[in-house]
Chain A
Amino acid sequence: MAVEEIHAEMVSSVWKVLVTPGSPVAAGDTLVILESMKMEIPVLTEQAGTVAELHVVEGEVLQEGDLIATVQS
């Protein structure tokens, strides 16, 4: 049972949220799409499992390092 914490790599806004807590995910699945530097940047999970926590909502502005979600495998 490993928990992967997924953090924002840069200042950005949350454009789309594609999962909810409890969603099953495969490695490489997109959890949310951020908007920054005029680009849509998908945020992926590195491990397969279930979305345990989701800490962001669409439109929210994130700072570098903010926790976006955790994935439990």
Chain B
Amino acid sequence: MTTLSPAPTLPAPDPRDPEDRLARFFDPGSLRPLAARDTSGVLAARGTVEGSPAIAFCTDATVMGGAMGLDGCRHIVDAIDTALRERVPVVGIWHSGGARLAEGVTALHAVGEVFAAMVRASGRIPQISVVLGPAAGGAAYGPALTDLVIMGPAGRVFVTGPDVVRSVTGEDVNQETLGGPDTHGRRSGVVHVVTDTEPAALATARRAVDLLAAQGTFAGVADEPDEDLGALLPEQRQRAYDVKPLIGAVLDEPGLELHPRWAPNVVTVLGRLAGRTVGVIANNPLRLGGCLDSASAEKAARFVRMCDAFGVPLVVLVDVPGYLPGVGQEWDGVVRRGAKLLHAFAEAVVPRVTLVTRKSYGGAYIAMNSRSLGATAVFAWPGAEVAVMGAKAAVGILHRKKLAAVPQAERDALHAELAAEHERIAGGVDRAIEIGVVDEVVEPAQTRRRLIGALADARPGRGAHGNIPL
């Protein structure tokens, strides 16, 4: 009779082990290293994500804190160039203190070559970064040059660390405050998605790879049920609301929201519509009344250019009162940064359909994928307003003298009457259709059916440009 001896105790695997991290990223059993493991501080491998081939590299935090030297950088450049040759996504998993000091300028030169490889591949293959530990100095700009940056709870991204900051500026700050998830997810916009755990960060990267690499095709609309999406907006037209439930109802299932806490007055989501990957851009009236401002215009512009570069069609949900007025905005460069959104839409060759749900005013009307910027189709829900400004505000300016001439008691009635008249001739959706800036009024229940139809019928396109991190 045999007795069971206790299992031999193996040393606990180091959670920072790059092979282990890559194995957790790829489909089980699919990992094949591109080169044998060495002391370079980087491991690169090929594998599959939901069955789609992809390349990934991971800095080796178990060697010199993941610091990058010549040999490690060569592995990264090779990984990116291999992915580019094979037209597959490349994912970087980062945990690195930056360039190897002992190698001096040799290491800086090598890190620069990584950046150059990323820019060569920009807009041609999806590049996704997952920051799981510190990514300092050179390692900070690696993720920043890619299309999407995902950060786990221990992720820290900064150019100079707390010690240098303290010695130069006297500011006393820890790594997390300087470059942790809250800082980059909410304040700086460096990070697109923040996750609570490391496995969730890797899972989010897998989702992004799947959405961008296996985009699918639009299913037919014959079986599309009618669902009254209009019920997701408040009855009072002046009342702000959260647009995310509407986006959720337009998509097949909840999508992957990018930059959820940074510039939240515009919402950008990658998801699937009738099975095909699409990008959704929507004003969110709950935040800043849905106004566009400098940060949200920049956020949307970068998203539009990324989708265009990878051939992802766009759905633009518009409910915008205008640009946010204010000295702060003008000094913040709302003109320069807002121009990016105009440029991004006007340049885009992917099918892109606009739906005005409630209102679209002024300069923001133009910026939100208007007909003038080349929208594939522009739909509006019944009662939507497309105008330079709200009718009441417009007649207050146009008929200031007329209004001032009547007694106070009659002024409100006259104002309302003039506003109704003005809306009929200048702001109503009928007028917008007449001059060809809106194609059609679409019943809310038909929204999905019509969006799918318009995008599926349009000629597919893919912009021939890089994806500079605007």
A39 to B239, CA, bound (A): 6
Per-residue contact bits, chain A 26-46, to B (CB 8 Å; 1 contact, 0 not): 000000000011111110100
Determine if A37 and B286 form an interchain contact, defined as CB atoms under 8 angstroms apart: no
Per-residue contact bits, chain B 298-311, to A (CB 8 Å; 1 contact, 0 not): 00000000000000
Determine if B321 and A37 form an interchain contact, defined as CB atoms under 8 angstroms apart: yes
**A5 interfacial contact with B, CB 8 Å:** no
**A11 interfacial contact with B, CB 8 Å:** yes
Select from chain B the residue with minimum beta-carbon distance to A36.
Answer: B289
Q: Nearest Cβ in chain B — how far from A26, in angstroms?
A: 15
Select from chain A the residue with minimum beta-carbon distance to B234.
Answer: A40
Select from chain A the residue with minimum beta-carbon distance to B236.
Answer: A40
**B34 interfacial contact with A, CB 8 Å:** no
> Which residues of B are in contact with A by a Cβ distance under 8 Å?
236, 238-241, 285-291, 321-322, 324, 326, 328, 390, 392-393
Select from chain B the residue with minimum beta-carbon distance to A35.
Answer: B238
Per-residue contact bits, chain A 48-72, to B (CB 8 Å; 1 contact, 0 not): 0000000000000000100000000
Q: Is the interface of B mostly helix, strand, loop or mixed?
A: loop
Q: Nearest Cβ in chain B — how far from A30, in angstroms?
A: 10
Determine if B289 and A39 form an interchain contact, defined as CB atoms under 8 angstroms apart: yes
Known: A10-B324, A11-B326, A64-B328. A39 touches B285 (CB 8 A): yes
A37 to B241, CA, bound (A): 14
Chain A positions within 8 Å of B240 at CB level: 39-42
Chain A positions within 8 Å of B287 at CB level: 9
A9 to B390, CA, bound (A): 22
Q: Nearest Cβ in chain A — how far from B412, in angstroms?
A: 15
**Residue from B239, B241, B288, B321 within 8 A of A9 (CB atoms):** B288
Determine if B238 and A42 form an interchain contact, defined as CB atoms under 8 angstroms apart: no
Chain B positions within 8 Å of A36 at CB level: 289
Select from chain A the residue with minimum beta-carbon distance to B264.
Answer: A9
Chain A positions within 8 Å of B289 at CB level: 10, 36-37, 39, 41
A64 to B290, CA, bound (A): 15
Determine if B390 and A38 form an interchain contact, defined as CB atoms under 8 angstroms apart: yes
16 A-B pairs whose Cβ atoms sit less than 8 Å apart in the complex: A9-B287, A9-B288, A10-B291, A11-B326, A36-B289, A37-B289, A38-B321, A38-B393, A39-B239, A39-B289, A39-B290, A40-B236, A40-B239, A42-B239, A44-B286, A64-B328
A17 to B2, CA, bound (A): 76
A45 to B162, CA, bound (A): 32
Select from chain A the residue with minimum beta-carbon distance to B241.
Answer: A42
> Which residues of A are in contact with B by a Cβ distance under 8 Å?
9-11, 36-42, 44, 64
Known: A10-B324, A11-B326, A64-B328. A39 touches B286 (CB 8 A): no
Q: Nearest Cβ in chain B — how far from A56, in angstroms?
A: 17
Chain B positions within 8 Å of A44 at CB level: 286
Determine if A39 and B238 form an interchain contact, defined as CB atoms under 8 angstroms apart: yes
Chain B positions within 8 Å of A41 at CB level: 240, 285-286, 289
Q: Nearest Cβ in chain B — how far from A50, in angstroms?
A: 23
A44 to B324, CA, bound (A): 20
Select from chain A the residue with minimum beta-carbon distance to B285.
Answer: A39
Q: Nearest Cβ in chain B — how far from A58, in angstroms?
A: 17
Chain B positions within 8 Å of A38 at CB level: 238, 321, 390, 392-393
Q: Nearest Cβ in chain A — how far from B243, in angstroms?
A: 13
Select from chain A the residue with minimum beta-carbon distance to B290.
Answer: A39
Q: Which of B286, B288, B392 lies at the interface centre, i.e. has the most chain A CB atoms within 10 A of its CB?
A: B288
A37 to B364, CA, bound (A): 13
Chain B positions within 8 Å of A37 at CB level: 289, 291, 321-322
Known contacts A38-B238, A38-B321; 9 further A-B pairs (Cβ under 8 A): A9-B288, A10-B289, A36-B289, A38-B390, A39-B289, A40-B238, A41-B240, A44-B286, A64-B328
